Amino acid sequence: MPITIDAGQKKQRYCPMYELPAPGFYTGGCTFKSDSADGTVSDSMTVGYAPEQIEQAVTRQADFHEFWQKALQELHEVDPQYQMTLQEDQSDEKRDLHLVENRSLDNLMVRGWFEVPKEQGKHPALLRLPVK
């Protein structure tokens, strides 16, 4: 949905309304093109719309249960060596940030971040995964 802004013109907000066809994850992008030497700037973002309503057909390989049974047996033999370390330099007045580490199959080190709100009460959960 292109929009043109002429030199000297200001457009404070532009928010088109879209009807999403169904629950799912959608990626939207925005590109700013300029006639100047700086060229083009682009960015995109993925949003989830009603992810709890996504209906996914279940497909499994014939050895699905055997694969997971074997994997869980192997994992049961691993000493996970769990560690959770407060990252004081990255915590703030609203939350504490912890580095979480544990060992997995093939002695692989698994790392992640755990943020804990300092204020008591119910808080939403947020799972962030790296995107390449």
Nearest to 115 by CA among 129, 94, 132, 131: 94
Which of 1, 50, 61, 6 is closest to 26 using CA atoms? 50
State the pLDDT at residue 132: 64
Q: How confident is the model at residue 18 (pLDDT cuts 50, 70, 90)?
A: confident
Give me the percent of the chain exceeding a pLDDT of 90: 53
* Residue 16 Cα distances to 2, 19, 132, angstroms: 11, 10, 28
Using only the alpha carbons of the chain, give its radius of gyration: 23
| Whether residue 119 has pLDDT greater than 80 | yes
Q: Are 80 and 72 in contact (CB under 8 A)?
A: no
d(CA 65, CA 82): 27
Confidence check: pLDDT of 122 > 80: yes
pTM of the model: 0.51
Q: What is the mean pLDDT of residues 23-50?
A: 82
Confidence of residue 14 (pLDDT cuts 50, 70, 90): low
Chain segment 96-113, per-residue pLDDT in tens: 999 999 999 999 999 999
Reduce the DSSP state of residue 105 to 3 states and report it: helix
